[in-house]
Amino acid sequence: MSTRRQFIQASAASTLLGSLGLHPAFAQGLDQVKIVNGFPAGGTADTTSRRVGERLAGTQYTKNAAVVENKTGAGGRIAVETVKNAAPDGATLLLTPYSMMAVYPHIYRTLSYDPFKDFVPVVMGSMLTHGLAVGPLVPASVKTVKEYLAWAKANPKDASYGSPAAGSTPHFLGALMGLNNNVDLKHVPYRGSVPGVADLIGGTLASMVTPHGDFLANHKAGKIRILATSGKARSPFVPEIPTFAEQGFPELTVEEWFGFFAPAKTPAGVITNANAAINAALKEKSVIDSLAVSGLVPIGGTADAMAKDLKAQYDAWGPIVKRIGFTAES
């Protein structure tokens, strides 16, 4: 009798978990999860992945801290494809700027993934603003965006700007800056911010547009100079630097986020647990302080809010990409 009652209770519990989108094995949390991002160690994507991943242990989502894997290359697409092909069990998450999901579909005719069909939004991780910085190749007398554009026009051989990836938001910010002001700025794509900043410091690259957090340490050390940031308001991390809008370039106002995604068909209950665990991590002072070092502000929120904003960004970037005329084949 006791055995029969236990069986009925176990069956009822299993049915309830199923109705919540949870397999019984997931109810107590996964043993190990992995966060995949497409950029090198030391950059803003890596920072968000690691600081959040460290705080996931002991939650309903996972028993242990997350392992972070940097799958660099192809402008972040290798990481996206890796997670697309991962088992939909919640054990593998993607951390990516929205560029790869909202902008890339407009520039790649044959993209190997569909951001709306192959992934499930989990939560927005951190907000970033981009920055324009110059290195020693540009004279110290250049202190504003207008002065930089005047210098670039007078020195076309050296007028270049780097970005963390071809087709990324920073790439298009630089392209718009040149297009709108009739200045030919040669684009140099990198595998993330780190190698581009190294060339900027070394004097082989005139300027770079990338998350401004990747400039902070070297800007404060006097090795490079941030000329503008892309937020609606000044960055709290370099409040002395005016925004693009303040300097007469409101069309360059962009605030981008890093978001966590899971493979399509990941159980809804696992997504709920992951969302709750990441939201909790983003509220911890140690995480907030660590993100601030890289110029990042935690966001959090619901998966639905992330999905709606992703669609809005996708719709907004289509006309911009068309105007610039860039495709993966161009």
d(CA 188, CA 160): 7
**b/e code 38-52 from CB counts within 10 Å (16+ = b):** bbbeebbbbbbbbbb
Question: Are 2-128+256-324 and 129-252 the same fold in CATH?
Answer: yes
pLDDT one digit per residue (tens) for the chain, 330 residues: 444 444 444 444 444 444 444 444 445 689 999 999 999 898 899 999 999 999 999 999 999 999 999 999 898 999 999 999 999 999 999 999 999 999 999 999 889 999 999 999 999 999 999 999 999 999 999 999 999 999 999 999 999 999 999 999 999 999 999 999 999 999 999 988 999 999 999 999 999 999 999 999 999 999 999 999 999 999 999 999 999 999 999 999 999 999 999 999 999 999 999 999 999 999 999 999 999 999 999 999 999 999 999 999 999 999 999 999 988 765
What's the confidence (pLDDT) of residue 330?
56
Does the domain formed by 2-128+256-324 have CATH 3.40.190.150?
A: yes
CB 38 within 8 A of CB 73: yes
List residues bridging with 127 in a β-sheet: 257, 297
Compute φ and ψ for 228, nearest 5 degrees.
-165, 155
What's the confidence (pLDDT) of residue 328?
79
Tokens of 177: 């800056």
d(CA 148, CA 127): 27
Q: Is the Cα dihedral 227, 232, 237, 242 positive or negative?
A: positive
HSE-up of 158 (CA within 13 Å, CB side)? Answer: 19
d(CA 75, CA 164): 8
The fold of 129-252 is D-Maltodextrin-Binding Protein; domain 2 (3.40.190)
Residues in CB range of 34: below 8 A, 6 or more apart? 66, 67, 68, 69, 91, 92, 93
What's the confidence (pLDDT) of residue 19?
44
The single-letter code of the amino acid at 254 is V
